[in-house]
Amino acid sequence: MLPDRLRALFFRKDSVPPTDSAGRQGAQSVHRVIAPSRKPVPPAVRTSKGLEQFFFNIKDVVGLTILDMAGANQENITFLTNLGHRMYASDLVRSIEDTFGSDLAEQNNASRIEFFLQSNFNYLPDTFDGVMLWDGLQFMTPALLTATVDRLHMIMKPGAYLLAYFSANERTADVPAYTFRLLDDKTLQVTERGVRSSGQVFNNRNLEKTFTRFESVKFFLTRDNLREVIVRR
C-alpha cells in the first residue's frame, strides 16, 4: 500500500463490482489467463521511440492529466508527478483477465464490456491530455476493442496523445504481456509477465482502421518485435 502522500498524487476508482446476468461478480470472477513463461525472462532496459515522441509532444507543459494503464507503480508515479502532471492509474491487462477470464468469447458479452469500461474509463469527456495505454489493446477481440477505443476517444481532449504497443509478430496467437516502468522520457524497464492469447492480428492497416476517428496514427517498429504507436486525438 502506498503512503498517504503518494496515494494523494493519483486517483483510482474503487467500487464493488456488479453482478452480471449469471450472478457472477465483476473482479471477483478471476481466471488467470496470463501463463508464466517457460523460462523466467529477466527485466530489460530499452529505449522507446514511441515513448520519446509521446513526451516530446507534451514537453514544456505542466499540469496535464495523464492516464497510465501500466498499474500504479512507484517509478511511473514519481516520474510523472515530478514533471508536474496529475496521474490516474489502472492496470489494463490485469483488468482484462479479471473481467473476462480465459474465454475470448466473453469479450463479446455486452454487460461484461460495460463493466470493464466503467472500471477503467469512467471519466468525463475531454479529461485526459495523454494516455499511456501500453500493450493492453492487443489482448482484445474486435467487440471489446471497438468499445474501448470509442471510450478513449470520448475521454481524451482534442489534440491529446495516446501511446500503445503491439506485437509485430503476426504468425503467433500467443504474445508476451509486459509491465512497463518509466526510467526517463525515452527509456523503460520492461518485464515480461507471461504470455496470453492475442485477441486478433494487429498490423499497420488494421491499426489505422482501429483509430479511424482519431486525427493521426504514427508507427515505430523496433528490433524486439514491438510495434509502437502514437495516436493523436
Q: What is the mean pLDDT of residues 71-76?
A: 90
Its CATH architecture, for the domain 34-232, is 3-Layer(aba) Sandwich (3.40)
Percent of the chain topping pLDDT 70: 82
Q: At residue 94, does pLDDT exceed 90?
A: yes
Radius of gyration (Cα) for the chain, nearest Å?
17
Residue, of 28 and 35, whose pLDDT is higher: 35
What would the grid cell of residue 102 be? 480465459
Arithmetic mean of pLDDT over the chain: 84
Q: At residue 13, does pLDDT exceed 80?
A: no
Confidence of residue 41 (pLDDT cuts 50, 70, 90): confident
Q: Average the pLDDT over each of 124-128, 213-217, 222-226 and give the range with the smallest value.
A: 222-226
Q: At residue 136, does pLDDT exceed 90?
A: yes
Model pLDDT, residue 37? 47
Which pLDDT tens digit goes with each residue over 148-162? 999 999 999 999 999
Confidence of residue 60 (pLDDT cuts 50, 70, 90): confident
What would the grid cell of residue 24 be? 457472477
Percent of the chain topping pLDDT 90: 64
Q: What is the mean pLDDT of residues 5-28?
A: 40
Q: What is the mean pLDDT of residues 1-24?
A: 41
Residue, of 208 and 173, whose pLDDT is higher: 208
Residue, of 1 and 83, whose pLDDT is higher: 83
Q: What distance in Å separates the CA atoms of residue 20 and residue 3, rounded to the nearest whole number?
A: 35
Q: Are 92 and 119 in contact (CB under 8 A)?
A: no
Q: At residue 10, does pLDDT exceed 90?
A: no
Q: Are 219 and 197 in contact (CB under 8 A)?
A: no
Q: What distance in Å separates the CA atoms of residue 159 and residue 19, rounded to the nearest whole number?
A: 37
Residue type, 197: S
Domain-by-domain residue ranges, the chain? Answer: 34-232
Q: What is the mean pLDDT of residues 44-64?
A: 94
Model pLDDT, residue 170? 74
